[in-house]
Amino acid sequence: MKILIVLPPFFPATDVGATIKQILPDAEITTSTGFEQSSAEVLVATTFTKVDEELVSKFPSLKFVQIASTGYDNVDTEALRKRGVKLSNIPTANKESVAEHVITVALAQLKNLLYFHNEIVSGNWPFLTNSTELMGKTFGIVGMGAIGKRLAERLLYFGANTIYFDPVKIPEEEEENLGISYSDMNSLLSKSDIISLHVPLTKETDRFIGEKEFEMMKNAAIFINTSRGEVVDEPALVKAIRSKGIRACIDVYSHEPPDPESDLFKAPNVIFSPHIAGVTVESQQRFITDTIANVLKYVQGLEPSYQVLR
């Protein structure tokens, strides 16, 4: 079975390719989709490759697409569905790194690290602080998938009061094990001291958090987005930062790289990162191994894991 793997140009293709070739020696690896046609039955890509109808049309024999990422909003699922092509993602490889990132930036905001850093490098020495603790805070998780669950597990050790919203309520036994309780979305927004988004980008979640939702939040609440930029109405976020003192931690943007002249970057008390919440040395290795393992399952005639389209 012919396999084509498309890597982004900035990836260490030699190192990654060497790992892949050890297990899939016949796989073809490329950093370009400029070819006219491919006879591959399996396409492996990252979120940096747009798997749209134009690309899919270049694969007359395509049967399976594997995205080496949690998100798959770069894929035209309708184009695959029309062709009867299966689609899988890898939703668990970065759950550790995203959970750690969320807690890191939440603590940075609670402990006023940005303020203290800027004061000290400016030659000042603050004597007073209004820093607060994570213990006892109400932490709202929006989306209880693999990442949301891992975050809840981590928060157990901090003594946070964790509530969650998800369209599908998880079993009570699992809620007890995670130390979480279900909340409707409006209550979560109004009760939480910290809110973290962990939802995929879909038609339903596009601009999911807007002016109305920010208005429900507490003044000076901490708002964290490591999901997708389009889930949040950016102008509404900027307004909430300025009018309600919302302390934001933003890892994802509607356009990446974002416009450096955006009003968002002029807003106070915001921690920015370049879509790397899930990117660690360890998570990238897991993405590679989990992706290869899933492709091997399909090649060997087994049902691949994490199927989005069957």
Strand positions, DSSP E, the chain: 3-6, 28-30, 42-45, 64-67, 86-88, 138-142, 161-165, 180-182, 194-197, 222-225, 247-250, 270-272, 307-309
Radius of gyration, alpha carbons of the chain = 21
- Looking at the structure, give the CATH architecture of the domain made up of residues 95-272: 3-Layer(aba) Sandwich (3.40)
d(CA 303, CA 216): 44
Residue range 137-147, pLDDT digits in tens: 999 999 999 99
Residue range 195-214, pLDDT digits in tens: 999 999 999 999 999 999 99
- β-strands 161-165, 42-45 pairing: unpaired
Catalytic residue, chosen from 228, 230, 234, 247, is 228
Backbone φ and ψ for 6, nearest 5 degrees, come out as -105, 115
Model pLDDT, residue 11: 76
Residue 101 annotated as catalytic? no
The matching CATH number, chosen from 2.60.40.420, 3.90.1150.10, 3.40.50.720, 3.40.1280.10, for 3-93+280-309 is: 3.40.50.720
pLDDT < 50: residue spans in the chain: none
Q: Cβ neighbours of residue 122 under 8 Å, at least 6 residues apart?
A: none
Give me the residue spans of the domains in the chain: 3-93+280-309, 95-272
Residue range 235-282, pLDDT digits in tens: 999 999 999 999 999 999 999 999 999 999 999 999 999 999 999 999
Contact 259, 229 (CB under 8 A): no
d(CA 165, CA 135): 21
d(CA 230, CA 253): 7
> What ranges in 192-306 are assigned the alpha helix state H?
211-216, 234-244, 281-299
d(CA 139, CA 97): 18
Catalytic residue, chosen from 28, 78, 256, 282, is 256
d(CA 248, CA 271): 6
Residue 310 annotated as catalytic? no
Contact 177, 228 (CB under 8 A): no
Contact 185, 142 (CB under 8 A): yes
pTM given for the model:
0.91
Catalytic residue, chosen from 83, 154, 207, 275, is 275
Query: Which amino acid type is present at position 280?
Result: T
d(CA 62, CA 101): 37
Query: Which amino acid type is present at position 129?
Result: T
Model pLDDT, residue 294: 95
Residue 198 annotated as catalytic? no
Intrachain domains 3-93+280-309 and 95-272 with the same fold:
yes
Q: Cβ neighbours of residue 1 under 8 Å, at least 6 residues apart?
A: 41, 42, 299
